[in-house]
Structure 1
Amino acid sequence: MNATFANNLFRQSIQDYHLTDDVETPINNPYSANDIAFLLYQKNWIDTIQWHLEDIIRSPAIRPDELVTIKRRIDMSNQDRTDTVEQIDSWFSDQFKGIVPKPVARLNSETPAWLLDRMSILQLKLYHFREQVDRPSVSDDHRQKAQQKLAVLLEQESDLAHCFDELLEDIRNGDRYMKVYRQMKMYNDPTLNPVLYSNQD
């Protein structure tokens, strides 16, 4: 498991989505549910659908009822995204359970899965900025600005990949350690969101 493995799975998910480019396309995860590849593919599929829902919701022609429906779908997508990240971190925690951190080991505030979350979103940015660079109907100025942003994103891709691989190496060597913190999201929980539970009290 390394950054190249993860990024290749993220790119595969993005390419698979764009075969239809339709937010109603159901996921067809090609990996076994027992494989970390399954979770990585699922994570990026969630991100990819949400990316396009965020585009749709900004249409000036969208009806108010459609907007509300999609906003609620985005809320649920965020919950699915968080749940999947936590599943990935649980996988890492299990992988590292036999490693005894050194006495001087540092706690890493960002877990491997939350770093993968950033890497997944970055692959979406790279895909869509490449689209802008290759758009035939735009001006040279638009294309040049998109190319400049793409160059920055490519640098970020390299940096995040290095950071991810370094983090895993440090954890394996006992130089850093991780903890799985649950996100404790409140807004979807009818017992914790005051707008939802106030009608029940």
Structure 2
Amino acid sequence: MISEHCNQIFEQAIGDYHRFNEVEKQCENPFAPVTLDNLLYAKCWIDTAQWHMEDEIRNPSIQPLEVVKWKRSIDASNQDRTDMVEYIDSYFHEKYKNIQPLASARINTESPAWAIDRLSILALKIYHMREESLRTDADEAHITECKNKLAILLQQRVDLSTAIDELLEDIEKGEKYMKVYRQMKMYNDPELNPVLYNNKK
């Protein structure tokens, strides 16, 4: 099942990142280039670094210049994340390119890679909620609440994993088909963001 494989790689990437726990740490991808495993690991590394950027920007004592720095880093990370999702969708599109969809085939509300994107974020939620549930400096009410939330997140992973596997099975059988849609993000593009291109004048 592809979802089980994704979850294993995501857990590996999250664990590897937390050996250093540095946002600026470059990803040392252990998987061969131009493989799905390489893309999944890189995708989750980006998500993990961005998770910690989002924590930093919410520091109540943060200075304004630091806010700007983190906001720009998050914007750049979002672009990298989106690009990586498109690479993963391109992988699946190439893999299934010779499958002839049935006349009754339907398109799914989201592509395989965007569902896998949610699985990566869910892996991060599980990792950090588990950390919270194991704290020794928090009261019992906090620990109990976090354990309850962790149980819900784990069930969500089961449900999402099942949905991803079923979607890919449906594509393989020709019952659904997929397209690779580019996200057309505009805010980082100096030709499409009016604030950027008006400042060039």
Q: Give the shorter-chain TM-score range.
A: over 0.9
In the alignment, which residue of structure 2 is the partner of 1:158? 158
**Alpha-carbon offset, residue 83 of structure 1:** 0.3
Query: Separation in 2 of the partners of 1:136 and 1:20?
Result: 22
1:132 aligned onto 2:132: yes
Query: Separation in 1 of the partners of 2:10 and 2:45?
Result: 8
Query: Separation in 2 of the partners of 1:26 and 1:87?
Result: 19
Structure 1 letter corresponding to 2:12 = Q
In the alignment, which residue of structure 2 is the partner of 1:74? 74
1:141 aligned onto 2:141: yes
Query: Separation in 2 of the partners of 1:179 and 1:25?
Result: 34
Query: Separation in 2 of the partners of 1:171 and 1:105?
Result: 9
In the alignment, which residue of structure 1 is the partner of 2:192? 192
1:167 aligned onto 2:159: no
Structure 1 letter corresponding to 2:66 = E
CA shift digits 1:97-139 (9 cap, x unpaired) = 0000000001112100000000000000000000010000000
Structure 2: stretches of 5+ with no match in the other structure: none
**Alpha-carbon offset, residue 34 of structure 1:** 2.1
Calculate percent identity across the aligned residue pairs.
Answer: 54
Structure 1: stretches of 5+ with no match in the other structure: none
Q: How do residues 5-16 of structure 1 correspond to structure 2 at under 5 angstroms?
A: 5-16=5-16
Query: Separation in 1 of the partners of 2:110 and 2:104?
Result: 18
**Alpha-carbon offset, residue 199 of structure 1:** 2.4
Q: How many corresponding residue pairs?
A: 201
Structure 1 letter corresponding to 2:132 = Q
In the alignment, which residue of structure 1 is the partner of 2:83? 83
Query: Separation in 2 of the partners of 1:53 and 1:199?
Result: 27
**Alpha-carbon offset, residue 40 of structure 1:** 0.2
Off by >2 Å, runs of 4+ in structure 1: none
Structure 2 letter corresponding to 1:72 = R
Query: Separation in 2 of the partners of 1:74 and 1:148?
Result: 30
Q: Secondary structure of 2:47's match?
A: helix
Q: Secondary structure of 1:18's match?
A: helix
The range that moved more, 46-55 or 26-35, is: 26-35
CA shift digits 1:67-119 (9 cap, x unpaired) = 10111000000000000000000000000000000000011121000000000
Q: TM-score, normalised by structure 1?
A: 0.98
Root-mean-square deviation (Å)? 0.9
Structure 2 letter corresponding to 1:127 = Y
1:34 aligned onto 2:41: no
**Alpha-carbon offset, residue 175 of structure 1:** 0.4
Query: Separation in 2 of the partners of 1:153 and 1:24?
Result: 28
Q: Secondary structure of 1:99's match?
A: coil
Structure 1 letter corresponding to 2:173 = N
Structure 1 letter corresponding to 2:11 = R
Query: Separation in 2 of the partners of 1:7 and 1:99?
Result: 26
In the alignment, which residue of structure 2 is the partner of 1:2? 2
Do the aligned residues in 2 keep the contact of 1:109 with 1:178 (CA within 8 Å)? no
**Alpha-carbon offset, residue 63 of structure 1:** 1.5
In the alignment, which residue of structure 2 is the partner of 1:56? 56
